[in-house]
Amino acid sequence: MVTDIKDAAHAVEAAAFLRLLPARPRLLALGEPTHGEETLLHLRNELFRQLVEQEGYRTIAIESDCLRGLLVDDHVSSGAGTLDEVMELGFSHGWGSSPANRELVCWMRAHNDGRPVSERVRFAGFDGPLEISGAASPRQALTALHDYLAAEVAADLLPCTARFLDRLLGADDRWTDPAAMRDPGSSVGRSAGAGELRLIADDLVALLDEQTPHLIAATSRDDWDRARLYGRTATGLLRYHSWMADTSPARMNRLVSLRDGMMAHNLLDVAARGPALVYAHNSHLQREKSTVRMGGVPLEWWSAGALVSARLGEEYAFVATALGTIAHRGVDRPAPDTVEGLLYALPADRCVIDARRLASALGDTRPAPRVSPWFGYAPFHPAHLAESDGIVFVKDVRQG
């Protein structure tokens, strides 16, 4: 058995990744089972550098605010802004403080310097402007979309003026009140003004679509693509805020589903630009339904990866990351009858596993699910072996 498992293990390198797959995917996604561990982020950087330099991937998309990510993309593409500004303002969820993320941005900028546009690597955040404590105001996305259209189409085609839109949006802290995540009554998402904003956003997106030939010719495809991102984000945020105000039992399930739906639309847009690399939590990239307990309530939803895979088929590939230990988080050596325990017995500190070959080697043996003593780490579920294109296994994650 150990020999069979060894035969499924390969060195962690770009060529080994691609050998796992039946075809070269347009979206190649690498998941992580926990956030904030520099060991995993440095490994991501190493792999993504190889895949850009050796295999021609041209976008790196990570689980961060899609609007903030525009600042990072401008910096790595053209040098706009300072590195410190970009790290502070270009990432959500606190990711900007990560040394590995800083290393990634520096490498992308250096890689692009002096290269023709067609050979540059782009950056994208593909999460919505959402945090666990709530959602952003739709102001930035809605006003940016309105400004773009107002500069290029006749005023009488617009559903409202910029002044009216500003007045309807009101103060941003109305939208970002953290109390709204737990108390639907604190949300403005189903107020009359929010309802009117949803209609305006819908009209603006429709106008953007209707004027596509003119807009691309008058501005550029990149500007038009960015306006489409503003439109998706505005409508997605307004829908999210509406469900924050809901009082039904479906509320939290709808919120987690809406978030991954926004992620999926952003990933499909990234895929339309060409071959891209994606990095996020395994639960946002897997093909199976994702599950979590919030406040003791079980939630279940289709992840962004599942939604994208249904659309792209073999053009989407997902490689999960599994871990042996995270000693500084109290995650000790895995039990030998778990997937992680079987892989921990291998001599390599890290390896790429052919998941389907591993499943074949196990035969009728069913590994036990691993239980994590720390809420921030989600072990690999053995039932997911058949639907994963591969597994990156890291034996020990060390602090720092």
Same domain, 35 and 125: yes
Same domain, 119 and 231: no
User: Residue 22 — pLDDT band, cuts 50, 70, 90?
Assistant: confident
Q: 201, 226, 250 — which closes off a domain?
A: 250
Same domain, 392 and 261: yes
Q: 250, 281, 308 — which closes off a domain?
A: 250
Burial (CB count <10 Å: 0-12, 13-18, 19+), residue 284: buried
The pLDDT of 48-56, averaged and rounded, is 96
Which helix (H) or strand (E) element contains residue 256?
A: helix 251-273
Rounded-to-integer distance, Cα 37 and Cα 265, Å:
27
Q: 250, 274, 291 — which closes off a domain?
A: 250
Sequence-distant (6+) residues with CB within 8 A of 219 are 148, 152
**pLDDT given for residue 369 in this prediction:** 95
pLDDT (tens digit per residue) in 54-68: 999 999 999 999 999
| pLDDT over 90 (residue 5) | no
Same domain, 263 and 114: yes
Domain of 292? 1-133+251-397
Same domain, 84 and 153: no
* Structure-block tokens of residue 157: 């085609």
Starting from the edge strand earliest in sequence, which strands make up the sheet with 316-325, in order?
9-10, 350-353, 390-396, 316-325, 27-32, 276-281, 59-65, 122-127
Report which of 214, 296, 230, 213 is spatially closest to residue 266, judged by C-alpha positions: 230
The pLDDT of 205-211, averaged and rounded, is 98
User: Residue 341 — pLDDT band, cuts 50, 70, 90?
Assistant: very high
Number of domains observed in the structure of the chain = 2
Same domain, 264 and 240: no
Indicate the range of 7-21, 35-49, 245-259 predicted with least confidence.
7-21
Same domain, 115 and 260: yes
pLDDT (tens digit per residue) in 126-157: 999 998 789 999 999 999 999 999 999 999 99
